[in-house]
Amino acid sequence: MTPALSLRNVGRRFGEHTAIDGISLDIAEGTFVSFVGPSGCGKSTLLNIIAGLLPPTAGSLEVFGEPLRGINRRASYMFQQDALLPWKSVLANIAFGLTLRGWKADDARTEARAWLERVGLRGFDRHYPYQLSGGMRKRVAMAQSWIVRPDLILMDEPFAALDVHTRLHVQSEIAALWASSSATVVFVTHDLEEAIALSDEVFVLSAGPAARVAGRYAIDLPRPRDLLDIKADSRFHQVYRAIWNDLRDGVVKSHAHHR
């Protein structure tokens, strides 16, 4: 089967600084994968290259077997800070992606209402982003990303600003959305526990500069997963310790580099 993403010796320089270097990997279609690594290791740079927002300065990238040139039209992107339009209602924000794709306004609103229900925001269609809590804004952003039925969902630490309880609930909702779709998810996080709980595979990036893939781990925890209780599973802790052995060296190196 053709991989959803195929990277070959991908690198990115910013002037004299090499952010990432020599990254080669394949990501299977329909999987949920995470990238973790120390601060400044180039996780977001790599995700922006996959999104087509940033061209690599070395190597090549294919999306479902086709070379990526320009913006990745098969992907939607969920940023760390949500991209809600403050002057539009919740319903209009969710419907916006469909209208950009040529849907009739009435059809787009009908589909958006269905997604409001799906992410637990029934009755909030006429609210504006400033009237929502952080968790509710994330649910709107989730609906924005998934309503257009992309083949790829790219997420850059989307839950970092949420409190721990809200974060767990939103993680569970993302896992359920993915399980009911055929999308491939590429998730960037600094939180190893979050990566393990959600993912089929976890890639560890080394400390920068010139970060590389330091480890690749298949997560064999059974699905569906109860994310509220998964950290009590002994297998979860075994996987965590195995990955942390790779990640720890990078964290120590990164700390020493930035002192």
Q: Tens digit of pLDDT for each residue in 61-109?
A: 999 999 999 999 999 999 888 889 999 999 999 999 999 999 999 999 9
Q: Is the pLDDT of residue 251 over 80?
A: no
Q: Tens digit of pLDDT for each residue in 121-170?
A: 999 999 999 999 999 999 999 999 999 999 999 999 988 888 888 889 88
Regarding whether 247 and 160 lie in a shared domain, the answer is yes
Buried/exposed 99-111: b ≥16 CB within 10 Å, e otherwise: eeeebeeeebbeb
Regarding whether 62 and 27 lie in a shared domain, the answer is yes
Q: Tens digit of pLDDT for each residue in 196-221?
A: 999 999 999 998 899 999 999 999 99
Q: Is residue 223 part of a domain?
A: yes
Q: Is residue 163 packed enough to be buried (19+ CB in 10 Å), middle (13-18) or exposed (0-12)?
A: exposed
pLDDT given at position 256: 53
Closest CA to 250 of 49, 258, 159, 240: 258
60, 138 Cβ separation under 8 angstroms = no
Q: What's the average model confidence in pLDDT over 177-186?
A: 95
Q: Is the pLDDT of residue 174 over 80?
A: yes
Q: Is residue 80 part of a domain?
A: no
CA end-to-end span of the chain, whole Å?
A: 45
Q: How many domains does the chain have?
A: 2
Radius of gyration of the chain (CA): 19
pLDDT given at position 257: 57
- Whole-angstrom distance, CA of residue 200 vs CA of residue 2: 18
Alpha-helical segments (H) within 28-121? 43-51, 90-100, 105-118
Residue type, 40: G
Q: Is residue 197 part of a domain?
A: yes
Q: Is residue 44 part of a domain?
A: yes
205, 41 Cβ separation under 8 angstroms = yes
Regarding whether 93 and 115 lie in a shared domain, the answer is yes
Q: Is residue 176 part of a domain?
A: yes
State both tokens at 98: 């469909």
pLDDT given at position 79: 85
Print the domain residue range for 58.
Answer: 5-74+151-258
